Structure 1
Amino acid sequence: MTSKLNVSTSGEREIVITRAFNAPRELVWETMSKPELLKRWLFGPPGWEMTVCEEDQRVGGTFRWAWSGPDGAGMSMTGVYREIVPPERCVRTESFETGCVPQMGEQLSTLVLADKGEQTLLTITVQYPSKEARDGALASGMEHGMAAGYDRLDEYLTGVAV
């Protein structure tokens, strides 16, 4: 398994993101579920910070995340949890309120954490409302912010797991 972020497409409307972490699945789940831990790693590229991290992680619960970046840039995302099976699966809607291409609309995101011995394989499948929305997300450079965040998560997990 590689530790780098891999971004690919599936069909006409999906992006599939994978990355391996050298940490137990339960620990990866915890760092992706608790606001105080999310704020430690989920803040995008250098110069950005997470300013809002509201989580009600239960079926029907909502989340709202917001970030601020250089030169007054900002971005926020909201959604509703549809399925939660700790520590292996989470399905939720996601909508960007600001900072992204408006026609992206609401997408459906499925997170799967697979136990691979001493590693955990993260797979996120994001289904967009159209091919154009999916292509807009790919063109936005979203993988750069995700890669930076997951690199920070990996550093955090390494420190905790030692």
Structure 2
Amino acid sequence: MPVTSVTSDVESLTMTLIADFPVGPERLWSVFTDPRQLERFWGPPGWPATFDTFDFSPGGWAKYHMTSPQGQNAGGTWQFTDIDAPRGFEVVDSFADADGNIIEDLPGSRMTFTFEATPQGSRLTSVSHFASAEALEQIIAMGAVEGSTLALNQLDAVLQDLRDYAQGKGTRIEVLSDQHVRITRLIDGPRELVWRAHTDPDLMRRWMLGPDGWRMTHREVDRREGGKYRIAWEPEPGTEGEAFGFDGEILLIDEPRRMVQTEHMTGTDYPSTVNDLSLYEEDGATLLTLLIAYPDAATRDMVLATGMVDGMEKSFQRLERELVH
């Protein structure tokens, strides 16, 4: 993981994050100064950012909001106070309301970003300066250490060419915490088609089948926020296994970028998960990212032990073969 340390110092009223990357400082500079690239990592998993304003000039403002799987928004602003390309820049960092106005009751800071070359690539050093020990303690209590670490650890996929990052690696899984797992897969095809493959019931039955020898028997999908869905499968004759299915509710739709839904195994008392699907296209290929929130580590381990990822890889291979090419 890129982040190597996050430390706080009550005497200097600072919080310092250090992260190392296998690319030059100019490449690192470019992702922090382009709002479209910032949106891919500025915000912890499950809270992606959208930059509504980005005036990268001394005195200019950047305004953004992060959206949770349940559709809640948390806003922020940067006012750029110093720019020293490509070595670093400084901002006044503040929390903001839905209209982009600074929330004075929440702790702001003066934040510096410094990019320097290392023998292995480059190092980011981000230092947040607070007005008081109380402000520093409050921001830490709000989860800033964990949130910033999870956010910056998403940068690997942004810094590399998308095909170089994911091509040929198949379906990959990362355990982020006791409750969160991230699954990624590069689909060699446009985002609009990958989106339709996940939302059109007729297309779903052609590829979303898991291992060979299964068929989709039920696909009732109401693709709107608050809509319900139910999907079921059964084994083909000669294939071992028992029929099963999932049902749930659509929590959030941002077509064709993001869809969040609950998932419950039909006919059981197993707890539901929250599945957060996002799609990012670059040069005709789409990076599919699925962030799954489990109720606890035991449920996470039980589900992963079923061979779920292997079944997903079979389905994605089928998607590319039957729908994209």
TM-score (norm: length of structure 2): 0.46
Partner of 1:18: 184
3-state SS in 2 of match to 1:76? strand
1:122 match: 288
Change (3 A) 1:146 1:5: same
1:104 CA displacement = 4.4
Cα offsets for 1:115-160 (capped at 9, x unmatched): 122210000011011110001011111112111111100112332x
Equivalent pair of 2:193/2:324 in contact (CA under 8 Å): no
Query: Aligned match of 2:232 in 63, 66, 86?
Result: 66
Question: Which blocks of at least 5 consecutive residues in structure 2 are unaligned?
Answer: 1-165
Q: Which residue of 1 aligns with 2:204?
A: 38
CA contact (8 A) 2:199 2:223 kept: yes
1:56-89 CA distance string (max 9 Å, x none) = 0000001100000234511100010010011000
Q: Give yes or no for contact 2:251–2:262 (8 Å, CA) kept in 1.
A: yes
Please identify the structure whose Cα radius of gyration is greater: 2
Partner of 2:256: 87
| CA-CA distance at 1:43 after TM superposition | 1.1
Task: Give the Cα–Cα distance (whole angstroms) in 1 for the partners of residues 241 and 186 of structure 2.
Answer: 33
| Cα distance in 1, alignment partners of residues 207 and 217 from structure 2 | 12
What is the rounded CA distance, in whole Å, between the counterparts of 2:312 and 2:298 in structure 1?
A: 21
Of residues 110, 129, 137, the one that matches 2:276 is 110
Which aligned runs of 4 or more in structure 1 are off by greater than 4 angstroms? none
Which has the bigger relative contact order, CA under 8 A and spacing at least 6?
Answer: 1
Structure 2 counterpart of 1:2:
167
**Equivalent residues of 2:273, 2:292 under 8 A apart:** yes
> How far, CA to CA, are the matches of 2:320 and 2:225 in structure 1?
27
Shift of residue 33 of structure 1? 0.7
Residues 99-123 of structure 1, C-alpha deviations (whole Å, 9 max, x = no match): xxx5741000000001122210000
One-letter amino acid of the counterpart of residue 94, structure 1: E
Deviations 1:8-28 (A, max 9, x none): 211111121100111111111
CA contact (8 A) 1:104 1:134 kept: no
Q: In structure 2, what is the Cα distance between the partners aligned to 1:138 and 1:124? A: 14
Q: Flag the structure with higher helix content.
A: 1
Instruction: Indicate the residue corresponding to 2:129 in structure 1.
Output: none
2:319 counterpart letter in structure 1? L
SS at match of 2:213: coil
1:2 is aligned with what amino acid?
Q
Contact persistence 1:104–1:129 (CA under 8 A): no
- Asked if 2 retains the 8 angstrom alpha-carbon contact of 1:66 and 1:76, the reply is yes
Q: What SS does the corresponding residue of 1:32 show, helix, strand or coil? A: helix
Cα distance in 2 for partners of 1:96, 1:86 equals 26
Contact 1:103 1:133 in 2 (8 A): no
Partner SS for 2:256: coil
Residue in structure 2 matched with residue 156 of structure 1 by the alignment: 322
Distance of 2:184 and 2:294 partners within structure 1: 17
Segments of structure 1 that go 5 or more residues without pairing to the other structure are none
TM score, norm. by length of structure 1:
0.91
How many angstroms apart in 2 are the aligned matches of 1:143 and 1:71?
A: 19
